[in-house]
Amino acid sequence: MTTGSLFDRTDRVTNTLLHHYPVHCVYKDCELRQPDLHLHRGFEFYLCLSGKGTILAEDKVYALLPGSITVISPQSLHLIKPDPNTPLQRIILSVDEPYLLQMLQEDPELEKCANFSRFLTAKSLQWLLTPHGFLTIRDILHHVEKELSERKPYYTVAAKNLLQRLILELGRERHAAGQDNLLPNKTVKIVEEILKFLSSRYQEDINVSEISRRFKVSRSSLYKLFKQITGYSMNQYLISYRMNKAKEQLEQTDLPIIEIAVSVGCHDLSHFCRTFKKLCGATPGEFRLMSRSESEPRPRSFKTK
C-alpha cells in the first residue's frame, strides 16, 4: 500500500477531463497511477482486456478478469487491485452524469433496454461478458477513443452514437451474462459486510471489538482478512473513507469546515485538518479553493450542432 496522497493525479485528472468534455476514453497497459481509494465525477466503465485481480467498489468486491466490465457510479469510492504478476490491460470510459442522463431522457427506449435505472441506484455493477459481447464492446470503446483523440468533424455526434450502441450492448449482455461477478467465498462475503457496516456508520465512533463481536470473527482474524482483501487496515480504510467524504463536501457545499469534520465522524477539528493535509497535501480550506478554481460552471446541455 502506498503512502501517497489519496487525492492525487488520477482523481483530479478525471474530474478535469470531464469538466472540459463529458466523455473520455483511454486504453491503458501501464501500472496504476491511482493505487489508493478514490472517487471522481462521472460514470466509469472499466473493461478488463487481460490480467487479473480485484475491484473494491464501496461495499462490493469483484473479481477483475479478462472480459469483465465494471460500471462505477459517480462519487463512489473504488480501488483497482491488480495481481502484480500479470500485466493489466484495460479500457476506461468516463461519462459525465448530466450528459448520460440527458441522452437517456432523449431516448426512453434506450434506457429501458439496458434497465439503466439500476445503474443509477447501484453504486457499482459488473458482468463477465459473453465472447461476442466482449469483442463488440471492446471495439465500440476503441472507436470512442479514436473519435475523441482525432476530433474529426462531427466527432461529438459519432461519440454519442457509439455510447448509445454501448448501452444497447450492455442491455443485451444483461440478459446473457447473468449475475454480477462477485467473488464467491466466505472471506470476501465477511469483508463486504464489514465494508457495508463501515460505510453506514463512518460518522460514528467505530469500535473494532464491536465489529469483531458483530461478525463473530476474532480481532486478529479480522485484521488479517480485511487487509488481505482490501490492502488496507480497517483504520486506514476508515480514515480514507472519511477524508474522501469530506473532500466531496468541500467541493460541493459551502458548509463550514468544522461542520464537515463532524459530519464525517471527526470531532477534533485540529486532528481532522492535520489528517486531511497529511493525506492530500493541502489543508481543507486550500483544497476547497483549488477545486473551485479548477471547476468553472459549464452548461448542463450538450447538444451537438
The predicted-structure confidence for 135-156, as pLDDT tens digits, reads as follows 999 999 999 999 999 999 999 9
Let me know if residue 303 belongs to a domain. Answer: no
Are residues 194 and 122 both part of a single domain?
A: no
Same structural domain, 127 and 209:
no
Cα–Cα dist 160/60, whole Å: 30
Pair 20, 162 in one domain: yes
Boundary of a domain, candidates 177, 199, 229 = 177
Domain boundary among 177, 203, 220: 177
Q: Residue 200: inside a domain, yes or no?
A: yes
Say whether both 152 and 289 belong to one domain: no
Residue 33 lies in a domain: yes
Among candidate residues 240, 242, 238, 249, the one with its CA nearest the CA of residue 287: 249
What CATH number does the domain containing 94 carry? 2.60.120.280
Contact 38, 7 (CB under 8 A): yes
Give the Cα separation of 220 and 218 in Å (integer): 5
Between 92 and 289, the more confident residue is 92
Out of 10-19, 141-150, 216-225, 238-247, least confident range: 10-19
Q: Are residues 172 and 193 in the same domain?
A: no
Q: What confidence tier does 254 reach under pLDDT thresholds 50, 70, 90?
A: very high
CATH number (domain holding residue 289) = 1.10.10.60
In a shared domain, residues 158 and 196: no
Q: Are 254 and 221 in contact (CB under 8 A)?
A: no
Question: What average pLDDT does the segment 277-305 reach?
Answer: 69
Contact criterion met (CB below 8 Å) for 100 and 46: no
Question: Same structural domain for residues 88 and 16?
Answer: yes
Give how many domains the chain has, as a whole number.
Answer: 2
- Predicted structure pTM score: 0.79
Q: Give the residue with greater pLDDT, 3 vs 252.
A: 252
pLDDT tens-place string over residues 120-136 = 677 888 888 988 999 99
Domain around 197: 186-293
88 with 211, same domain: the answer is no
Question: Is 3 within the bounds of a domain?
Answer: no
**Residue 302 lies inside a defined structural domain of this protein:** no
Last residue of a domain, one of 155, 177, 199: 177
| 192-218 confidence digits (pLDDT tens) | 899 999 989 999 988 888 899 888 889
Pair 60, 138 in one domain: yes
Q: Which residue has the cell 450528459?
A: 99
Nearest to 195 by CA among 65, 34, 69, 79: 79
In sequence order, which residues have a C-beta less than 8 Å from that of residue 158 and are 6 or more positions away?
143, 147, 152
- 88 in any annotated domain: yes
